[in-house]
Amino acid sequence: MSNKKSFNLGIILGLLTIIFCIVGCCMMFLPLIIRNSGSVAVTYPGLAVVFGGTHDVTYTLTTGNFVTSTSVSQDFKFNAFAMLAFFLPLIGGIFTALNQFITKKMPFFSIIGFLLIVIGLVLLFFVKSSFNSLNEFDDIASMHYAVGLVLAIIFYGIACLASVVKLFLCDFKK
C-alpha cells in the first residue's frame, strides 16, 4: 500500500474509532443496570450509576397480565470506577485518531489509545459489582446488565477492533 493510501486509511480508521468511542460514551444516558427480585424490576439510570446524586429509579411490578411502574428518587454515591470505564476509551479514541497528525513515523499514540480502549472495555464488565459495593445493595446475583451497558461494550469493542486494524495496517507500515 502506498503512503498516501495508508495515510487516508489511517484517517478513516481513526475517525471510525473516535465515532464508536463517542457513541459508546453516550450509552451512559441509557439504563445501565436492572435488578430483578421476584415480580419487581428496578431500573437504574446510567447517570446515577456513574455520577451518583439523587436520581429517579423506575420500579416495575408485574402481576399476571398487569404491569405497573412508578418512579422513586434515590441517592447514589459517585462511582469513579464507572467513570473511568466510560471515559478511558473516549480518551483512547482521541489518541488513536490524532496519531496520524502528531507523530508521523511512530505509532506511539495509537498504541496508548488502543491500550486505553482495552482497559476501559475490561472495566465495563465490573461496573455492576462496583455499583453494588458502593451503594450497598443486598444481592448482586439479581443485578443484570441493561441495554446501555451492553451497547457500550459492543461499541467499545468495535472501536477496539478499528484501533487495532489502524495500528497494524497503517501505523506499523511506515
Q: Which of 27, 15, 45 is nearest to 120 (CA)?
A: 27
pLDDT for the residue numbered 173? 66
What is the rounded distance in angstroms from the CA atom of residue 21 to the CA atom of residue 19?
Answer: 5
Q: 103-141: buried (b, 16+ CB within 10 Å) or exposed (e) per residue?
A: eeeebebbbebbebbbebbebbeebbebbbebbeeeeee
Read off the pLDDT of residues 45-82 as tens digits, 9 standing for 90 and up.
Answer: 999 899 988 888 888 888 878 888 888 888 889 999 99
Which parts of 7-145 are beta strand (E)?
31-37, 40-45, 53-63, 66-76, 143-145
What is the rounded distance in angstroms from the CA atom of residue 124 to the CA atom of residue 112?
Answer: 18
pLDDT for the residue numbered 68? 87
Read off the pLDDT of residues 102-159 as tens digits, 9 standing for 90 and up.
Answer: 776 678 888 999 999 999 999 999 998 888 888 877 777 788 899 999 999 999 999 9
Torsion angle, CA of 81/29/67/131, rounded to 10 degrees?
Answer: 10
Domain ranges of the chain: 3-30+79-171
